[in-house]
Amino acid sequence: MTDTVLLALVLATFAGLSIPLGASLALWRVEFLPDWAENVWRHGVMAFGAGALLAAVALVLIPEGTARLGAVPALSWFVLGAVFFAVLDVWMARRGGQMAQFLAMMMDYLPEALALGAVISGDVPTAVLVAALICLQNLPEGFNAMREMKGPVGHPPLWLFAAMVPLGPFAAWVGLNLPDTFDPAVGAVMMIAAGGILYLMFEDIAPQVPTENSMLPPLGAVLGFALGLAGHMAT
């Protein structure tokens, strides 16, 4: 059991480290690209992250949450999650906050780390694959969150993103140690996160993706979803 716990903590930490890595990449300017090309590239990365988030909702959070709750409770928690984050988004907007992508990243990272811990005791190869997918999803999400949160005085501190890393191992440890009687609670967390992510995606993230005369951002979204789909098929 000790080896399983250690493996869960290592995998979740590995997945979480891509958050500050992605955020640090957002601080770099691609000097050799003209402004229009850099703009298209950044929008493409944002769309890729949105596609990965959508895949997490459709292929991980909703199926896993529904399996633990049943149809009616799952739907109820899903709608409640969307309403809750709609209210939170309005409250933050009135105070000048720009954290939709950051919130979506947290709502993706933590429930998936919880799921990683829940499956690792019975299926280590699947847990390793889940960790790799979380890592690949977190990279563009960290990038987008850092870009979104840039204010008049500059970007937020990188330590804010680094501070999220230990939350993943903690969530994995919780998922590994929760008894089966807590399955409905885990399902509710997943459905709330799914509803919140979907709301934030169409309210704040998707409207920022399009650029004129470029197909890269829409293709980026498709590739991001394809990444999640590939992982789902592999498991």
Cβ proximity of 140 and 52 under 8 Å: yes
> Cβ neighbours of residue 82 under 8 Å, at least 6 residues apart?
195, 196, 198, 199
How many domains does one find in the chain? 1
Helices 100-120 and 71-94: crossing angle in degrees, nearest 10, is 150
pLDDT in tens, 125-153: 777 777 877 787 787 778 878 877 766 55
Q: Is 29 a member of any domain?
A: no
Its domain, for residue 68, covers 2-24+34-234
- Higher-confidence position of 6 and 217: 6
Q: Please report whether residue 172 resides in a domain.
A: yes
What residues are paired with 151 via a beta bridge? 154
Q: Is residue 127 part of a domain?
A: yes
Taking a C-beta distance cutoff of 8 angstroms, is the pair 77, 188 a contact? yes
Position 163 in a domain: yes
Q: For 56-85, write each residue's pLDDT tens digit.
A: 788 878 888 898 888 899 999 999 988 988
Distance between CA atoms of residues 122 and 223, nearest Å:
30
Is residue 130 one of the residues assigned to a domain?
A: yes
pLDDT at 17 over 80: yes
